[in-house]
Structure formats: C-alpha cells, structure tokens
Amino acid sequence: MKKSVAIYPGSFDPPTNGHLDLIARGSKIFDELVVAILRNPEKEALFTLGERRRMLQALTEPFGNVRVDTFEGLLVDYARGQGASAVLRGIRAISDYEYELQMALMNRKLAPQLETVFMMPAEAYSYLSSRLVKEIARLGGSTTGLLPELVERRLREKMAKEPHMFRLNQDAHREEINSAPPPAIPAGRTNGAKRGGQRAWRDDRRAEARRALGSTTKKK
C-alpha cells in the first residue's frame, strides 16, 4: 500500500508545546510526517534556522516516523518533491480560520491533489503561539508549561548571550503599538471618543497587550 506522507510547515520560532502536540497527533495518522521549517529571509527570526532545526530534531526523535527539513518557495512544490499527499496545519481559535482557509484554498488551486488537514491541539495550548512566547520572554514573564524543557533552556541561553535580540524586538513591538493607525470609531460608540479617539484606542491596545501577557509592568 502507498505510504501517506504529510508536511507540517511553519516558522517554529521557537517550537512550542502546541507544535509538539500537533506533531504527536499527526504522527499517529500519517505514515510519515515531515516537519518543514520555512526559510524566509524577509522574516527576522529569534532563533537561527540551524538552531530551530536542531531543537526540532531532538524533540521529534522519540517519534519513529517524523523527520525535520527546511524549505523555501512554494509549499506545494516542496510537498510534491517530498511525495506528500497532505499538509498538516493547526487551528487554535476562530482567528486562525480565515487565514488558514485562504491558504488551504489557494494551495488547492495550485495543487488539487494535495489535501490540507487541520487538527486542534489540546485545549491548554489553544491560546499558545511562538509570537506570544517571545513577548512573554521579552517582558520577563514565565514560559513554564508553554515550551518543551529544551526550548526553555535555549531561550534562557539566548537571553543571556544575545540580549540585544530581545531588546530590539521589544522596542519594535512598542513602536508597532505606538504607530498603528486607530480604527474608525463605530457609530453610536461614544466612550472612546470621550476619552479622545486615538489616544483612548492606543491606551486600550496597551492594556490589552499587558493583560494578554500577564505583564505586571506599569504604563510609562
């Protein structure tokens, strides 16, 4: 019988317990699962491609049918080259749905025989993303339970050896919040306008970010 091969693509910067949860689920339903790290020169990553590859290799070693690779360019071309019949993606919340649907349908147009398979992680990881983990680390919060132990260690090492990687991005994030355009205030909603439109909106975004990150840092 033909072997089923699936590709699990992503940035994995860094790999989280959510990624591992999905790898474990995928490895049960496919004969072979290829964890494929996207080589994206435009996206600045915290961990180098080599670092991410080594972490994922160590983490997936216990599974007999998972291997780690890197790719660039069109996913459908890479999948064809690997003889894959499916792409595995994770759906956490409704917010993932729209983007994932768009990607899946575009990939189907490019390669009709390639199926996208969505899986849901354990509930505990449904709010977890690499981006959020990096933000927590940057702001000095605890990442316990969110990352495999090996990744937590590598993150601590990176913070000790390359603190500039964290500072730079933190500033960039602050800049992002400060420079983001405020949305139009919906008709009939006056409380934002009372507090002064743009400023109120920014204050709200900052408060939201602090809440999401569990950060105790006070507004400057």
> Using CA atoms, how far apart are residues 126 and 18, in angstroms rounded to an integer?
7
Residue 173 C-beta: closest distance to ligand ADP, Å: 16
CB of 56 to ligand ADP, least distance (A): 11
- Report yes or no: 52 and 14 within 8 Å, Cβ to Cβ: yes
Q: How far is the CB of 220 from ligand ADP (least distance, A)?
A: 29
Question: Are 20 and 55 in contact, with CB atoms under 8 Å apart?
Answer: no
Active site annotation includes 92: yes
Closer residue to ligand ADP, CB minimum distance, 128 or 155: 128
Using CB under 6 A, list all residues that contact ligand ADP.
10-12, 16, 18-19, 22, 89-90, 92, 96, 121, 125, 128-130
Annotated active-site residue 43? The verdict is yes
Q: Choosing from 2, 43, 161, 211, which is the catalytic residue? A: 43
Is residue 85 left, alpha or beta, with left meaning phi > 0 and alpha meaning psi from -120 to 50? alpha
CB of 12 to ligand ADP, least distance (A): 5
Q: Which is nearer to ligand ADP, 9 or 192 (CB)?
A: 9
Closest C-alpha to 131, from 121, 120, 143:
143
Q: Which is nearer to ligand ADP, 89 or 154 (CB)?
A: 89
- When the beta carbons of 95 and 179 are compared against ligand ADP, the nearer one is 95
Angstrom distance (rounded) from CA 105 to CA 74: 14
Active-site annotation holder among 11, 19, 52, 89 = 19
Whole-angstrom CA distances from 178 to 130, 166, 171, 183, 217 are 22, 18, 10, 13, 17
Tokens of 124: 């505990």
Q: Catalytic residue at 130?
A: yes
Strand (E) or helix (H) holding 168: helix 163-179
Query: Which of 92, 108, 158, 173 is labelled catalytic?
Result: 92
Residue 10, strand partner residues? 37
* C-beta nearest to ligand ADP: residue: 18
Q: Which of 27, 52, 89, 130 is catalytic?
A: 130
Active site residues: 19, 43, 92, 130
